Amino acid sequence: MGGVVPLTLITGASRGIGAATARLLAAQGHDLVLNYARDRATAEALADELRADGQRRVWCIQADVANEAQVLAMFARIDAEAAGRLSGLVNNAGIVAPAARLEAMDMARWQHLFGVNVMGTLLCCREAARRMSTRHGGAGGAIVNLSSRAAQLGSPGVYVDYAASKGAIDSLTVGLARELIEEGIRVNGVRPGIIATEIHADSGTAGALAAAAAGIPIRRLGRAEEVAEAIAWLLSEAASYTVGAVLDVSGGR
């Protein structure tokens, strides 16, 4: 980064992989924008933790990434308060719905799921590109999109709609990487496997995790910190020749 302190926006940063990534990036010298949708108290507590050493600047900004007006307002605040120096974006915000077969799902579920997982990523990528691209006067940067091994395995009988939404993220990552690389922006992705985070409670599958771990070649669930390491590497100059890659962090699954 040439001595310039990187500024990275992490969506869905208040818990799980987002929070683990925030802690790791702060330790590596990033200033941070922590986005959250609803849980202000948890997000603010994380921000206070990261500010404690007095070295990091951390902003906490509420925005539902599926809402264009809220995303625009979030980026406008970054422009106003951080001098428009955004250099990194981690599209981590994502949701699941209760486990179900496709014929039991309704349109409202799909609109909500794809709104957050796909439209939210598209919106944040667009706004980041408008700021980071050398075509628009930016200094370049890096984007990391969070996919899932479900994109390739399909999650039959659990949530094929979630898997489909993450398949869209895989396609976006490859295409956008090729679109933006000549403008100084590297785009890559990470596909976590079954990670021990709170998201499993949202789908009602937390009780099946022990059995799921037995089917993973490494014989355990992943940790959010292990996914954060892959994200941080892709954002770093160490990954300067890595473009359009989607890294599996899945214990061999």
Bridge-partner residues for 43, per DSSP? none
The class of domain 7-249 in CATH terms is alpha beta
CA-to-CA distance for 118 and 169, rounded, in angstroms? Answer: 7
74's CB contacts (< 8 A; 6+ apart) are: 33, 35, 61, 62, 63
Whole-number pLDDT of residue 23:
98
- Over residues 14-39, the mean pLDDT reads 97
pLDDT digits (tens, 9 = 90+) for 215-237: 899 999 999 999 999 999 999 99
Rounded to two decimals, what is the model's pTM?
0.94
How confident is residue 198, by pLDDT bands cut at 50, 70 and 90? confident
CA-to-CA distance for 142 and 25, rounded, in angstroms? Answer: 13
Q: At residue 19, does pLDDT exceed 60?
A: yes
pLDDT digits (tens, 9 = 90+) for 77-114: 999 998 768 999 999 999 999 999 999 999 999 999 99
Domain ranges of the chain: 7-249
Q: What's the mean pLDDT when you consider all of the chain?
A: 94
Whole-number pLDDT of residue 199:
66
CA-to-CA distance for 130 and 150, rounded, in angstroms? Answer: 30
Whole-number pLDDT of residue 202:
62
Q: At residue 48, does pLDDT exceed 90?
A: yes
Tokens of 246: 């989607």
**Any catalytic annotation for residue 162?**
yes
Q: At residue 9, does pLDDT exceed 80?
A: yes
CA-to-CA distance for 63 and 177, rounded, in angstroms? Answer: 25
pLDDT more than 90, % of the chain = 89
How confident is residue 203, by pLDDT bands cut at 50, 70 and 90? low
Whole-number pLDDT of residue 149:
97
Whole-number pLDDT of residue 212:
82
Q: Which of 36, 159, 162, 241 does the annotation list as catalytic?
A: 162
DSSP letter assigned to residue 53: T
Q: At residue 213, does pLDDT exceed 80?
A: yes
Q: Out of 35-49, 72-86, 124-138, which region has the weakest mean confidence (pLDDT)?
A: 72-86
Q: At residue 2, does pLDDT exceed 80?
A: no
E strand intervals along 168-231: 185-192
Whole-number pLDDT of residue 1:
41
